[in-house]
Structure 1
């Protein structure tokens, strides 16, 4: 179990491909703040993309993926700073149940085609992953990249009105996201989360995969060292150097992150959460949670519900 897969699956990342657009001549589109992560794929032509806070635009070409964290309004157009129209409410057509098709711009000139999608994430498991991305990221696939092949399949499916189109597009969008994240994190490895860099380390990567595969196991440093086929001292030294925490501290941090997700869901008892995370009893889990968060899990759950209710009423 690699960490990226575990984060995306446990945070129940939900994406949808919701439009296929063609832009002609002079054009510009203003996308609203909304999803935690917006994704745009340039299938043909070229464009410029920017956010209201970025200051400079990025030139994007056919085959590029644009990722935008949801904290800012963002724009795409035929030239930097061009006049834009709102994406929301723009007239669209499309097959029933399929991706909506939109047309922007007017006048002579080359055309640009692109698709748009959006992602939401439950809880905060992916918060560190998203925070490690620039506000606007342009992922340019390497030559021979599997991402290029996926985009070709995606583009073909967009034009196919066969039954089940939307379900297939949404599944392909998941593939595009994972491949784009892999390429971006690998291309800017110094800005990537520590766990991503550590995954490539033969010693620490083995220990990380073991923890994420079995978070409830009663891990010891000796157990993790055995997974990596090294001594306890080597594992502890290498793990701490790459991740900034000791191996068992990482295990506890991850268990607490999983506990928070279950507490947010609301229905799971403390005893069941304790069992799922490998604690001997509800009381040992509650004590560990209080040490980590400075409040008992029941009080944390109540505070989390109040906060969620407050955000929903805004």
Structure 2
């Protein structure tokens, strides 16, 4: 399996949040920080979107557009000068509205959010800008899957949350594929996957995170000096080799905690830690929580 497929395979929603909102007139909605990634699909309207920490970097979004936002407070508005208000309360359903129908412009948008740490790979999140706009082509796989997700959000029935979670995953993969395919949007680490001076090391880390990798052994796989490899890796990917290794080990460990009943000791060994204590220390430093606590919180959230 290639590295990008590995990252995408480990991206999995569980208990994601969904809503469809209709707004009338002039308005501005502020979305609070929460989860790891949000998507907004503009069904109808001519709107502006921006993050709280970059109010001068707003983007225009219209019906048919899709935007991806990393976990950060952000706003969307039909009138950027209108006072910000919370997202209308859906009252327990997945649909809400605000304003008076027939008065002013109408806008509709759909929101889906990954709500739990561990649902998405840190490398994928880091590859995105704070706000990314995608315009799915009519008839494309992304457009069709997104339309199906929106249509299903108000449908009841057994297993509905699981279905919505998987559709959100599919939308994300297809959206990332379109985003990465745009030459001006390609993140630096994606180019490393085709770089013979880096790809063998990345493949080794992803294939065998349990091995005792050092900068020297990784450099040897690429036939470079230790210093030359470390410099090229850091310049291209944005973090030193062993930091990337540690982050990947934590991603693999989270998946095991989430999806298996393996003991902490077994998981620790599977990602290269010689003791449960050293793994727990590294995991808590990475996530702020002990592995067992993280697992129980995730299970409760699901």
Same structural fold, with TM-score higher than 0.5 when normalized by the shorter chain: yes
* Structure 1 residues 10 and 83: alpha-carbon distance in aligned structure 2, compared to 1, 3 A threshold: same
Corresponding residue for residue 268 of structure 1:
264
Corresponding residue for residue 96 of structure 2:
102
* Structure 1 residues 125 and 116: alpha-carbon distance in aligned structure 2, compared to 1, 3 A threshold: closer
Asked if 1:297 is matched to 2:278, the reply is yes
User: How far has the Cα of 1:19 moved from its partner?
Assistant: 0.9
For residues 192 and 268 of structure 2, the distance between their equivalents in structure 1, rounded to whole angstroms, comes to: 28
Corresponding residue for residue 308 of structure 1:
289
For residues 145 and 85 of structure 2, the distance between their equivalents in structure 1, rounded to whole angstroms, comes to: 30
* Structure 1 residues 23 and 206: alpha-carbon distance in aligned structure 2, compared to 1, 3 A threshold: farther
For residues 203 and 287 of structure 2, the distance between their equivalents in structure 1, rounded to whole angstroms, comes to: 35
User: How far has the Cα of 1:243 moved from its partner?
Assistant: 3.9
Corresponding residue for residue 290 of structure 1:
none
Q: Check whether the contact 2:12–2:166 (CA below 8 A) recurs between aligned residues.
A: no
Q: Structure 2: which 5+ residue stretches go unaligned?
A: 291-296, 298-302
Aligned counterparts, 1:78-117, within 5 A: 78-87=78-87, 90-92=89-91, 94=93, 100-106=94-100, 107-117=102-112
* Structure 1 residues 102 and 306: alpha-carbon distance in aligned structure 2, compared to 1, 3 A threshold: closer
* Structure 1 residues 50 and 232: alpha-carbon distance in aligned structure 2, compared to 1, 3 A threshold: closer
* Structure 1 residues 111 and 160: alpha-carbon distance in aligned structure 2, compared to 1, 3 A threshold: farther
Q: Check whether the contact 1:16–1:117 (CA below 8 A) recurs between aligned residues.
A: yes
Corresponding residue for residue 139 of structure 1:
134
Q: CA RMSD in A?
A: 4.5
User: How far has the Cα of 1:267 moved from its partner?
Assistant: 5.1
Aligned counterparts, 1:37-186, within 5 A: 37-56=37-56, 57-72=58-73, 74-87=74-87, 90-92=89-91, 94=93, 100-106=94-100, 107-122=102-117, 126-142=121-137, 145-158=140-153, 160-161=155-156, 163-186=158-181
Count how many residue pairs are aligned between Structure 1 and Structure 2.
277
Q: Check whether the contact 1:45–1:112 (CA below 8 A) recurs between aligned residues.
A: yes
* Structure 1 residues 165 and 109: alpha-carbon distance in aligned structure 2, compared to 1, 3 A threshold: farther
Residues 162-187 of structure 1: CA deviation (Å, up to 9, x unaligned): 55443322221111112222222333
Asked if 1:198 is matched to 2:192, the reply is yes
Corresponding residue for residue 24 of structure 2:
24
- Secondary structure class of the residue paired with 2:113: strand
Q: Check whether the contact 1:43–1:151 (CA below 8 A) recurs between aligned residues.
A: no
* Structure 1 residues 165 and 303: alpha-carbon distance in aligned structure 2, compared to 1, 3 A threshold: closer
For residues 143 and 153 of structure 1, the distance between their equivalents in structure 2, rounded to whole angstroms, comes to: 13
Larger Rg: 1
User: How far has the Cα of 1:233 moved from its partner?
Assistant: 4.7
For residues 35 and 160 of structure 1, the distance between their equivalents in structure 2, rounded to whole angstroms, comes to: 24
Q: TM-score, normalised by structure 1?
A: 0.66
Q: Check whether the contact 2:18–2:153 (CA below 8 A) recurs between aligned residues.
A: no
Q: Check whether the contact 1:28–1:104 (CA below 8 A) recurs between aligned residues.
A: no
- Secondary structure class of the residue paired with 1:130: helix
Residues 29-56 of structure 1: CA deviation (Å, up to 9, x unaligned): 2211222222211123332212222223
- Secondary structure class of the residue paired with 1:53: coil
Q: Structure 1: which 5+ residue stretches go unaligned?
A: 95-99, 225-230, 287-295
Corresponding residue for residue 256 of structure 1:
246
